[in-house]
Structure formats: C-alpha cells, structure tokens
Amino acid sequence: MIASIFQFLCGLIFSLFLPRLPLMVLPRLNVMDGQLAPFPMPQPVDKHLISQMLIMSTLWKLSFLFALIPLAVGYLILTSFASPIAFGLFIGAGWAILSRLIPTRGFSFPNTPYSTDLIHELNEIRIQEPTCCDSAEIVWETIAVRCQNCRTSHLDRARPDLGRLRNDGLIGRFRLLFLDGHPIINNNLDD
C-alpha cells in the first residue's frame, strides 16, 4: 500500500513539474543571455526586456507540449494495466494542462504570466517619451514599472520571472517550479 502511494506521488510530481522545466532551464543558458540586468535588480524597460518577454511567452506556451508526454505515457500504460505511477502521470499531466487552460483574471485565456497584452503595454511604455521628470529612467521593479528618479508608477503589474540567472540557490529554484513563472506578489486591483 505504501509502495503504491509512493509510486503514485512520484508520477504525480514528475508530471506536474516536467512542463515547468523548459521555462526554468532554457532562458538561463549562457546562449540565451538577453543582456538583462542581473537578478534581483530592477530591469530597465528596453528592447532587451521586450524580446525576453516574447521568448518567455513562447517557452511558456510550448511547455504545454511537455505536459502531453506524461499524459500520453500514463494513458498508454493505464490502457494495458493498472499502475499507480501511470495513474500519477496521467492525473498530474492533466492537472498541469488544466492549470494552464483555466482562466483566473477576468476570464483571460490562457492563464499566462507573459500575456500579449502585458508585452504590448511594456512596449508602449518603452516607445513613448516619459513625461514624469526630466531624466526619466523607466525600470520594472518587483511590484511595478516605475521611474527610478521620481518614483512615478507607469504600470502597476508585478514582475514575473524574466529568465535571468539567479543567485538564490535551491529555494529560488523551488519557487520557480511552484510559481510557474508567475510573480510572487499579486498587486492587480481587478482580482
């Protein structure tokens, strides 16, 4: 009985975290260095941020395919015989797919931290001339896009994971796995 529960949990954990691995690993490779500010510094709103957001959005959408692997393997094994690990693979992959499909905020679809609307808003902030002060430096801090000099807020959206190299060790990697790219702080007023 305990062995069956352990096998089920192994399959479940593997299939829940497999879709999140590309988002956690690929942007942090040296080849993909996007000339971003080092973690955890505020990121300037520039063309490097916009391109990194587009890359992260693409990786987040493609990670859906990584959830299909344990779903298919679990289904194929379950059609032959009942196996706890196959059931865990099937349930975990199904949950990973559903968590990406179920809308959370204003029935927006899909539930992504790298939405096209957010990327467009950031690009508009990048393109337009800031009028908040004479020497405006617009950066994306943890909780908002602000001017570094006068502290005027240009966009009240928390910063998701940008795929930068991190120095917070194992705890930070677990946080990335659990949050799936979403920001740790939710400061949206329409929630």
| Residue 167 reports pLDDT greater than 70 | yes
CA 54 – CA 118 distance, rounded (Å): 10
CA 22 – CA 24 distance, rounded (Å): 5
Q: Residue 37 carries which DSSP code? A: P
Give the tens place of pLDDT for each residue, 23-76.
888 888 776 666 888 888 999 999 999 999 998 988 888 888 899 999 999 999
What residue spans define the domains of the chain? Answer: 2-179
CA 190 – CA 77 distance, rounded (Å): 43
Joined together, the tokens standing for residue 81 give 């015989």
CA 128 – CA 130 distance, rounded (Å): 6
pLDDT at 6: 95
Token pair 């062995």: residue: 3
Give the tens place of pLDDT for each residue, 125-153.
999 888 888 888 899 998 999 998 888 89
pLDDT at 191: 43
The pTM of this model reads 0.83
What would the mean pLDDT of 91-106 be, rounded to a whole number?
81
Closest CA to 100 of 43, 22, 185, 16: 16
φ and ψ at residue 44, rounded to 5 degrees: -60, 140
